[in-house]
Amino acid sequence: MDLGKSFFVSASGLRAQATRLRVIAENIANSSSTAQSPGGEPYRRRLVSFGNILDRALGVEKVQVTNVFTDPGDFGRRLDPGHPAADQDGYVLTPNVNTLVEMSDMREAQRSYEANLKAIQAARSMLRETVQILRS
């Protein structure tokens, strides 16, 4: 693998982390999306999982989001008898999204994104140095 190909690997990492950030944003945006009618389920938190995939044309292993799955964790309950989705006892199910967890996950994704960006910058500066041999 040479410097040129490492761009593609880092770019695939950027794309995977961006997908992860998008899913986290969905979770945060839906952190209070309850059901519309009694018996319905509120929003369920979603998670991404990464995996490797071989790009045969380039001969490098790229990173990809292999699947987006839902968190099987329990829903929260809130007493709100006036809510349209409240059950007989007046409780409403709330999504299993913990904003604090999402925030820390988001920070982690951000760090990984930055690291991939740094790798691209490093490869670029090394290539530029090599090309500048020609100039002297």
Footprint of other proteins (CB under 8 A):
1-3, 5-6, 9-10, 12-13, 16-17, 20, 49-52, 60-63, 108-109, 111-112, 115-116, 118-119, 122-123, 125-126, 129-130, 132-133, 136
In whole angstroms, the minimum distance from the beta carbon of 85 to other proteins comes to 34
Residues 6+ apart with CB under 8 A from 60: 1, 5, 8, 9, 54
The span from the CA of 2 to the CA of 6, in Å, is 7
135 alpha-carbon distance from chain centroid: 43
Decide: 45 and 96 in contact? Cβ < 8 Å.
yes
In whole angstroms, the minimum distance from the beta carbon of 90 to other proteins comes to 38
Which residues lie across from 47 on neighbouring strands? 69
Residue 33 or 125: which CB sits closer to other proteins? 125
Two tokens, residue 135? 């100039």
The span from the CA of 108 to the CA of 95, in Å, is 22
Residue 3 or 29: which CB sits closer to other proteins? 3
Residue 43 or 113: which CB sits closer to other proteins? 113
Residue 51 or 81: which CB sits closer to other proteins? 51
Supply the Cα-derived Rg of the chain in whole angstroms.
22
